[in-house]
Homo-oligomer: A and B are copies of this chain.
Amino acid sequence: MARKIHLAQRMDDIQPFHVMDILARARQLEAEGRSIVHLEIGEPDFATAETIIQAGQLALQNRHTHYTPTLGLPALRQAIADDYQRRFSIQVPASRIVITPGASGALHLALAVLVNPGEEVLMADPGYPCNRHFVRLLEGQSRNIAVTEATDYQLTAALLDHNWSDNSVAAMLASPSNPTGTLVTGPQMQAMIEVVDARGGRLLVDEIYQGLSYGVDEFSCLQLTDQAFVINSFSKYYGMTGWRLGWLVVPEAYVDAVDRLAQNIFLAAPTLSQHAALAAFSDDTRLILDQRRDEFRRRRDYLLPELKAMGFEIPVTPQGAFYIYANSSRFSQDSHVFVNQLLEQAGVAVTPGIDFGAFNAQQYVRFAYTRPIEVLEEGVKRIREFIKNC
């Protein structure tokens, strides 16, 4: 018997990731015997480092299967604080570090304690789509600001100043950024902090890809301010995607609210993941992770010139994450169509620009270099053949 479906209105605005359809179709083609080159997946191909696996094994042996405190294992919060000291020479008290179920949990907490219905959060278009969807979930409004190669696809102090309204309460940055792989510079970060401070707002900084940058001196927003919310993750540099573990650095005045909310919306992050992550900061692990970072760099250094040589426009060199955001308009006026044809005809899966926003999205595709160079080479060969017919 058919029933009337009452669906909350927010669901009209929460889009699926189109890449999921691409991935599903790719799997279907593979099941039919086709070979597919996967350049769409935003997940390192490496399994979690052996040292972290071993720590997980030990945690299981020791039967660490109960809940941890809501804000996380004290030893893990301290290990993260120590790592900020080691890498950036900054003191971030462990009391401000909250362990979360993935960076998703961190993003959710930060936005939920900040954003009232109707209030605005400024963010870059293109950007990570969950950002605007979390704001929508909370009945807030994302103000998606078009960014171009002129600003390395990043927001700037001028853009924030120009777009800030009476309803604005926060601005989000991502450095390195998904999908563009670009970073915010230190002076720009400082200038944005000043604009948002002057407006009485808060900065949310996504540092999820921290550690995966190539040929630049990394910095953390935390070197410049203790008033921002900083989102981080064990998924990317630390290679722990399936463990669902991230963290949020919280301004002191918000720790109590974040604690109350976390108790209610997820109780605690997975216990085994937290114990395993304690091994993520050892010298042995860092050696493995830095080798992997160097491998990502080699992949970028291979793929970037190949794509340019074929005619993709990539005016800004991506310096972090594992993405290349490329203008495909020489081959197609609709990158979503292009992506579908590339998959069907050439067996190469990439992500359409539409997954990252609306601004010029039909002109762009995202390549993820999360596969070994020999796979990238096969992908390049196939794309080169394919675009002959575009």
Contacts and interface: CB of A to CB of B under 8 A. Distances in A.
Interface of A: 3-11, 14-17, 20, 43, 47-48, 53, 56-57, 60, 63-68, 70, 101-102, 104-105, 108, 112-117, 129-130, 133-134, 137-139, 169, 200-202, 227, 239-244, 253-254, 257, 259-261, 263-273
Centre residue among A15, A20, A56, A244 by max chain B CB count within 10 A: A244
A194 to B, nearest CB: 14
A124 to B, nearest CB: 18
Contact of A272 (B101, B105, B201, B272): B272
Contact of A3 (B3, B253, B266): B253
A101 B244 contact: yes
B261 A14 contact: yes
A116 B272 contact: no
B257 A4 contact: no
Contact of A265 (B15, B57, B137, B200): B137
A76 to B, nearest CB: 14
21 contacts: A11-B260, A16-B259, A16-B260, A16-B263, A17-B263, A20-B70, A20-B263, A48-B65, A65-B241, A65-B242, A66-B241, A67-B242, A101-B101, A101-B244, A134-B265, A137-B261, A139-B139, A242-B270, A244-B266, A244-B269, A270-B270
A148 B273 CA distance: 41
A191 B116 CA distance: 38
Contacts of A66: 43, 47, 241-242
Nearest to A200: B4
Contacts of A241: 65-67, 271
Given A129-B264, A263-B16, A6 B104 contact: no
A58 to B, nearest CB: 10
Most chain B CB atoms below 10 A, which of A105, A133, A272: A272
Given A117-B139, A270-B270, A272-B272, 15 more contacts: A4-B200, A7-B254, A16-B259, A48-B63, A48-B65, A57-B57, A60-B60, A66-B242, A112-B137, A130-B264, A133-B265, A242-B270, A244-B267, A244-B269, A272-B273
A-B CB proximity, top 4 nearest: A242-B271, A48-B65, A47-B63, A133-B264
Given A114-B6, A200-B6, A242-B65, A266 B101 contact: yes
Nearest to A47: B63
Contacts of A68: 242
Contacts of A272: 56, 242-243, 270, 272-273
Contacts of A11: 113, 257, 260-261
Nearest to A137: B112
Contacts of A6: 114, 169, 200-202
Nearest to A244: B270
A272 B169 CA distance: 38
A84 to B, nearest CB: 21
Contacts of A64: 242
A1 to B, nearest CB: 9
Nearest to A258: B11
